[in-house]
Amino acid sequence: MTGPNRAQLGEHLVAHRVAGDVATSRMSNLANIDKMLARQPEYWFGLELDRSWTADEVLKVLAARVGIDPDPERTTGADRIDPELCLDALDAAAGLVAGAVTARSRVLLATGHPTGILALHLQLAAGLAAAGCRVVEVADGDWVEVIGDRRRIRYLGGVATVGTGGDLVHTHSPEPMHHVLQVLGTPPDLVIADHGWAGAAAQAGIPTVGFADTNDPALFVGAEEGKVDVVVPLDDNVLPAAYVPLATYLLSGGD
């Protein structure tokens, strides 16, 4: 599959605000660091961290891995994703995707964002299946308890999501992945996911490509500790069509 080259994709990322000047606010980024450190259910993403972290330490990780402002005194305004850091992570992810294709691996794809970034996962699922990988779909239709609510696992085009039964919903929670892995038994060779789907897989020791916004600090700290293989920093809820070139780039092997 022929995709955009790195320079072309970089221009696309900035033009569509997937990276560069993104919509997520500085206030949200800092607030979610505190929520993660307090282990609020929607913000720890299923990752058991190896040590205690301070807010300033997490901010330094986000500055290095995402490109947001490292100044802990700035609490207002906008933040940004360094397009080069996004591209570096996409190249690393493309290497894992290429390895999965070569090995005809079992790959599990999942998203907690059944809006924008779902388009990226759908394209990847279709491309991996066409290349001979086994796209895993287990526990389809099963109900799971998610922070006091019942949610139903539903696969759409090979991508795991959760919903109320009639509607797909946004979630950061790891419980759906816990359930899928329990039903599956033998772990997949690779997980490509976001939010708690990615965190729970990485915590289980499965090679994982995660996608995370600037206000999703848990996956970046998990990568810093060596638990998550690759985390791609991006805005995870722009218009769905904007993600198609990213999927093509990943399936074509990156730069």
For the stretch 5-57, pLDDT in tens is: 999 999 999 999 999 999 999 999 999 999 999 999 899 999 999 999 999 99
29 domain-assigned:
yes
- As for how many domains the chain has, the answer is 1
At residue 104, does pLDDT exceed 90? yes
AA letter at 128: L
174 domain-assigned:
yes
Mean pLDDT over 82-99 rounds to 98
1 domain-assigned:
no
- Residue 47 phi/psi, 5-degree rounding, is -95, 125
Mean pLDDT over 219-246 rounds to 97
Name the average pLDDT for the chain: 96
Domain of 171? 6-251
Predicted TM-score (pTM) of the model is 0.96
At residue 130, does pLDDT exceed 90? yes
**Strand (E) positions, the chain?**
20-25, 78-81, 106-110, 134-135, 143-146, 149-156, 159-163, 168-169, 190-194, 208-212, 230-233
Confidence band of 1 (pLDDT split at 50, 70, 90): low
194 domain-assigned:
yes
Residue 153, beta-bridge partner list? 162
78 domain-assigned:
yes
Whole-angstrom CA distances from 62 to 74, 90, 132, 246, 252 are: 14, 17, 36, 21, 28
170 domain-assigned:
yes
